[in-house]
């Protein structure tokens, strides 16, 4: 009832309004409406007639439909000349909207997943003691790293992993952490860290921290509370009863040699340490400890770090039963079992529950990854040697994410047998075992392994960088590899590394020498005093950043060129990777993308002599092949017949060729791709195919 009254009233008002505004009078077919008005409200019209007539004239000109009653308007609007365009417009809008929605859905459905920053850039490892010393004490520091950020930009490297700089007694040079929430004074302070991070972000660089979940320093507050049996902390480490006279509750050995148990006088028990005795293993079976780790991860994520390199993850859990591990040689007298190679590590590595824990850490990182461009990256460190499957588990499952990738250390074995087929074998160890759809990665050096330039030989340095930067996936470059740095020689008296204290050949000092920036004092590492914590390599006058920057044919310039290529050319980032040939000398593979005319062929001679490679059987390759880049600059732009591609030992070629004929469809067993994508050249877009 109520609403009807309202409608009736408003109808009445409309009519009255119409009468006051005579504009409609002149409108076609408006007669009847005007008549109604004149009969209904004659008196009022008389009193205002003159005024209204004058205004009406003007009003009609300006607003012919203003105030027109609904009925009249409807009458007009239903005429074909209004109705038809209106309907056309209406359907046009409907169709366009539907088309837009459809196009959006199609684009989303057809686009291959976007690449994140860690797919695109190489990861550069900085060993902070050795990168750049800003205060002249002989040890590198955070301010030093900040001074050198442009070096990464020059190389087009956007991700920097910095080895530990937490407060530490430095028994294992920072891998023994006393306080995970503080910076060691040797490296600076928290403000230096925050300034470094801010400056890195300003420059578009990502900072990856090293994180050590397996152990702390024996000087950590938790360890002190644990050894005094504080009720909350007593189970923060792995303790067991043992005989103080022979503190070996079982045969487990430390990675640094000898028993992994040490008797603690204060508590009167033995504690486990899979590394140094000053690095007690945390008891990650204790949920409070796991929560502590999560809190620490959150602490640094909150500060804005872009990822973590998770240290020594396979050691995180140990079997609770503490049984002896089986000996590799069952006949070896047990007292001679002193190195990690003497035992099968069935109870001290890769225990059930390890991956669940890492996935929990990953989930925390995902919580911080929601903002666009703020993906937090995780890489795990686990040496599993011939047990590749164990390493691959760190990739997680299709449903549960874990590490973005576990470090691939297999190329570190390249020096064992420098040959084409061995290089192929090592590459294939990863490619053929990696779960499908995952992202590969390659490491040729780090702070724990001899520099590849020394172990493989200087002549292979360029070829190794060429391979590193043209394989599919993310390359990792240890500081100095971009200029071909080599190991320094260390005498027993110069040893700093605890791993080398008993046996100089096990020392990791040779690969940790100061970064070679220029030909000046201390290679530009420390420009203030004469101190350097390890000697500078004598080659520094020629092997350094400044000199190599000026030289187009230097290791550095080639690194920069290849890194530019892999980031700008789609076949390297998104394309197929196919083996073409491997023999005693040469390893050859190609990178191609469907729909992309340019493809790349790599021919790398890892052998000991020159080689002529015959690829005439590869019908997808054009007959003439032009070298885009050779590690031997004299051969740049050289043209080879595909039946006679010549390389010297240690020479690598990048050959660019044009064709739409693809290699992978006819050789599926030789090819890999993380995510299939095709290129639509006419519009320059990628789509799933």
Chain position whose Cβ is nearest to Mg ion: 281
> What are the C-alpha distances in Å from 609 to residues 582, 614, 630, 645?
15, 16, 16, 14
Q: Do the Cβ atoms of 268 and 247 come closer than 8 Å?
A: no
Q: How far is the CB of 261 from Mg ion (least distance, A)?
A: 13
Q: How far is the CB of 446 from ligand GLC (least distance, A)?
A: 7
Answer yes or no whether residue 218 interacts with ligand GLC by CB under 6 A.
no
Chain position whose Cβ is nearest to ligand GLC: 175
Is position 311 annotated as part of the catalytic site? yes
Question: Could you please report the per-residue DSSP string of 17-82?
Answer: HHHH-GGGGGSTT-HHHHHHHHHH-HHHHHHHHHHHHHHHHHHHHH-TTTT--HHHHHHHHTSHHH
**Strands 269-272 and 239-240: what pairing?**
antiparallel
- Nearer Cβ to Mg ion (257/304): 257
Interacting residues with Mg ion between 616 and 635 (CB under 5 A): none
Q: Do the Cβ atoms of 564 and 111 come closer than 8 Å?
A: no
Count of helices and strands (H, E) across the chain: 20, 24
| 195 binding partner (options ligand GLC, Mg ion, none; Cβ < 5 to 8 Å by kind) | none
Interaction pattern, residues 350-389, with ligand GLC; x per rule: CB under 6 A: -------------------------------x--------
In 3D space, the residue among 175, 250, 261 whose CA is nearest the CA of residue 210 turns out to be: 175
3-state secondary structure 490-512: CCHHHCCCHHHCCCHHHCCHHHH
Q: How far is the CB of 211 from ligand GLC (least distance, A)?
A: 11
| 212 binding partner (options ligand GLC, Mg ion, none; Cβ < 5 to 8 Å by kind) | ligand GLC
Interacting residues with ligand GLC between 107 and 126 (CB under 6 A): none
Answer yes or no whether residue 141 interacts with Mg ion by CB under 5 A.
no
Q: Which residues lie below 8 Å from residue 367, measured CB to CB, with a gap of 6+?
A: none
| 281 binding partner (options ligand GLC, Mg ion, none; Cβ < 5 to 8 Å by kind) | Mg ion
Interacting residues with Mg ion between 189 and 248 (CB under 5 A): 214
The residue whose two tokens read 């890492």 is 358
Answer yes or no whether residue 161 interacts with ligand GLC by CB under 6 A.
no
Answer yes or no whether residue 131 interacts with ligand GLC by CB under 6 A.
no
Interaction pattern, residues 265-294, with ligand GLC; x per rule: CB under 6 A: ----------x-------------------
Q: Which residues lie below 8 Å from residue 364, measured CB to CB, with a gap of 6+?
A: 294, 297, 298, 301
Answer yes or no whether residue 176 interacts with Mg ion by CB under 5 A.
no
**Cα 44 from Cα 34, distance rounded (Å):** 15
- Nearer Cβ to Mg ion (281/651): 281
Answer yes or no whether residue 170 interacts with ligand GLC by CB under 6 A.
no
Is position 46 annotated as part of the catalytic site? no
Q: Choose which of 186, 207, 212, 523 interacts with ligand GLC (CB under 6 A).
A: 212
* Helices 461-470 and 555-568, axial angle in degrees (round to 10): 10
Site residue total, Mg ion (CB under 5 A): 3
Q: Which residues lie below 8 Å from residue 345, measured CB to CB, with a gap of 6+?
A: 325
Answer yes or no whether residue 580 interacts with ligand GLC by CB under 6 A.
no
- Nearer Cβ to Mg ion (269/418): 269
**Cα 311 from Cα 437, distance rounded (Å):** 25
- Nearer Cβ to Mg ion (280/406): 280
Strand partners, 611: 647
Provide the sign of the torsion angle of the four alpha carbons 601, 607, 608, 609, taken in this order: negative
Answer yes or no whether residue 405 interacts with ligand GLC by CB under 6 A.
no
Answer yes or no whether residue 640 interacts with ligand GLC by CB under 6 A.
no
Site residue total, ligand GLC (CB under 6 A): 9
**How many C-beta atoms surround the C-beta of residue 341 within 10 A?**
9
The residue whose two tokens read 């077919």 is 29
| 448 binding partner (options ligand GLC, Mg ion, none; Cβ < 5 to 8 Å by kind) | ligand GLC
Q: Choose which of 161, 166, 175, 460 interacts with ligand GLC (CB under 6 A).
A: 175
Q: Do the Cβ atoms of 308 and 297 come closer than 8 Å?
A: yes
Q: What angle is formed at CA 349 by the lines to CA 346 and CA 355, rounded to 5 degrees?
A: 120
Interaction pattern, residues 439-478, with ligand GLC; x per rule: CB under 6 A: --------xx------------------------------
| 170 binding partner (options ligand GLC, Mg ion, none; Cβ < 5 to 8 Å by kind) | none
Q: What angle is formed at CA 276 by the lines to CA 274 and CA 279, rounded to 5 degrees?
A: 80
Q: Choose which of 178, 281, 325, 486 interacts with Mg ion (CB under 5 A).
A: 281
Q: How far is the CB of 381 from ligand GLC (least distance, A)?
A: 6
Mapping DSSP to helix (H, G, I), strand (E, B) and coil, where does residue 190 land?
A: helix
Answer yes or no whether residue 513 interacts with Mg ion by CB under 5 A.
no
**Cα 481 from Cα 465, distance rounded (Å):** 8
In 3D space, the residue among 236, 232, 223, 226 whose CA is nearest the CA of residue 277 turns out to be: 223
| 315 binding partner (options ligand GLC, Mg ion, none; Cβ < 5 to 8 Å by kind) | Mg ion
Q: How far is the CB of 499 from ligand GLC (least distance, A)?
A: 7
Q: Choose which of 312, 411, 555, 601 interacts with ligand GLC (CB under 6 A).
A: 312
* Helices 70-77 and 80-110, axial angle in degrees (round to 10): 70
Interacting residues with Mg ion between 305 and 324 (CB under 5 A): 315
- Nearer Cβ to Mg ion (312/337): 312
**Cα 514 from Cα 446, distance rounded (Å):** 14
Q: How far is the CB of 214 from ligand GLC (least distance, A)?
A: 7
Q: How far is the CB of 313 from ligand GLC (least distance, A)?
A: 10
Q: Which is the catalytic residue, given 178, 381, 594, 651?
A: 381
| 632 binding partner (options ligand GLC, Mg ion, none; Cβ < 5 to 8 Å by kind) | none
Answer yes or no whether residue 348 interacts with Mg ion by CB under 5 A.
no
Q: Which is the catalytic residue, given 178, 281, 311, 318?
A: 311
In 3D space, the residue among 619, 649, 577 whose CA is nearest the CA of residue 420 turns out to be: 649
Q: Choose which of 141, 278, 311, 325 interacts with ligand GLC (CB under 6 A).
A: 311
| 175 binding partner (options ligand GLC, Mg ion, none; Cβ < 5 to 8 Å by kind) | ligand GLC
**Cα 114 from Cα 439, distance rounded (Å):** 13
Q: Which residues are catalytic?
A: 311, 381
Q: Which residues bind ligand GLC (CB under 6 A)?
A: 172, 175, 212, 275, 311-312, 381, 447-448
Q: Which residues bind Mg ion (CB under 5 A)?
A: 214, 281, 315
């Amino acid at each position: 009832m109520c609403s009807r009254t309202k409608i009736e009233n408003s109808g009445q008002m409309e009519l009255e309004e119409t009468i006051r505004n005579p504009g409609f009078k002149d409108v076609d077919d408006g007669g009847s409406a005007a008549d109604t008005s004149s009969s209904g409200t004659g008196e009022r019209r008389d009193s205002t007639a003159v005024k209204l007539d004058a205004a009406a004239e003007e009003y009609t000109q300006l607003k012919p439909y203003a105030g027109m009653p609904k009925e009249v308007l409807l009458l007009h609007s239903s005429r074909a000349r209004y109705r038809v365009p209106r309907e056309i417009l209406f359907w046009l809008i409907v169709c366009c909207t539907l088309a837009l929605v459809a196009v959006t859905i199609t684009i989303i459905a057809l686009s291959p997943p976007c690449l994140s920053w860690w797919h695109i850039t190489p990861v550069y490892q900085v060993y902070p003691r050795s990168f750049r010393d800003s205060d002249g004490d002989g040890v590198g520091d955070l301010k030093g790293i900040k001074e050198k950020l442009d070096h990464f930009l020059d190389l087009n490297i956007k991700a920097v992993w910095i080895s530990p700089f937490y407060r530490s007694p430095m028994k294992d040079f920072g891998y023994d952490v006393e306080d995970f929430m503080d910076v060691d004074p040797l490296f600076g302070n928290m403000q230096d860290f925050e300034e470094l991070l801010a400056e890195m972000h300003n420059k578009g660089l990502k900072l990856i921290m090293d994180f050590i979940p397996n152990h702390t320093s024996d000087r950590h507050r938790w360890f002190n509370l644990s050894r005094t049996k504080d009720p909350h902390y007593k189970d923060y480490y792995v303790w067991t009863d043992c005989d103080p006279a022979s503190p070996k509750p079982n045969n487990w050995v430390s990675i640094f040699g000898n028993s992994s148990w040490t008797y603690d006088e204060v508590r009167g028990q033995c504690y486990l340490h899979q590394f140094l005795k000053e690095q007690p293993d945390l008891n990650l079976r204790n949920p409070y400890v796991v929560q502590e780790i999560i809190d620490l991860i959150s602490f640094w994520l909150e500060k804005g770090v872009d990822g973590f390199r998770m240290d020594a993850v396979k050691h995180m859990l140990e079997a609770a039963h503490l049984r002896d591990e089986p000996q590799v040689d069952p006949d070896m007298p047990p007292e001679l079992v002193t190195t990690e190679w003497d035992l099968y590590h069935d109870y001290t590595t890769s225990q059930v529950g390890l991956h669940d824990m890492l996935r929990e850490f990953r989930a925390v990182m995902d919580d911080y990854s929601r903002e666009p461009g703020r993906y937090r990256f995780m890489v795990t460190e686990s040496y599993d040697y011939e047990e590749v499957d164990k390493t691959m588990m760190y990739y997680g499952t299709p449903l549960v994410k874990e590490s973005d990738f576990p470090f691939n250390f297999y190329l570190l074995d390249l020096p064992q047998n420098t040959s084409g087929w061995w290089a192929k074998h090592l590459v294939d160890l990863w490619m053929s075992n990696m779960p499908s759809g995952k992202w590969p990665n390659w490491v040729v050096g780090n702070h724990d392994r001899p520099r590849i330039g020394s172990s493989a030989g200087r002549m292979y340095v360029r070829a190794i960088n060429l391979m590193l930067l043209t394989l599919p996936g993310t390359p990792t470059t240890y500081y100095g590899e971009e200029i071909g740095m080599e190991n320094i020689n260390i005498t027993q008296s110069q040893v700093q590394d605890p791993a080398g204290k008993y046996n100089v050949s096990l020392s990791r000092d040779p690969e940790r020498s100061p970064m070679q920036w220029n030909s000046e004092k201390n290679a530009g590492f420390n420009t203030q005093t004469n101190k350097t914590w390890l000697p500078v390599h004598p080659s520094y006058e020629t092997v350094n950043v400044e000199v190599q920057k000026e030289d187009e044919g230097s290791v550095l310039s080639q690194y920069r060129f290849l890194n530019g290529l892999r980031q700008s050319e789609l076949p390297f980032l998104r394309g197929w990777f196919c083996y073409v040939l491997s023999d005693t000398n040469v390893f050859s593979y190609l990178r191609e993308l469907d729909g992309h005319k340019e493809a790349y062929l790599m021919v790398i001679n890892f052998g000991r002599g020159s080689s002529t490679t015959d690829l005439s059987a590869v019908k997808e390759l054009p007959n003439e092949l032009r070298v885009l880049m050779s590690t031997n600059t004299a051969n740049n732009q050289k043209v080879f017949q595909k039946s006679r591609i010549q390389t010297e030992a240690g020479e690598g070629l990048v050959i660019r060729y044009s064709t739409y004929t693809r290699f992978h469809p006819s050789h599926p067993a030789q090819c890999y791709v993380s995510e299939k994508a095709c290129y639509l050249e006419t519009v320059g877009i990628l789509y799933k195919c």
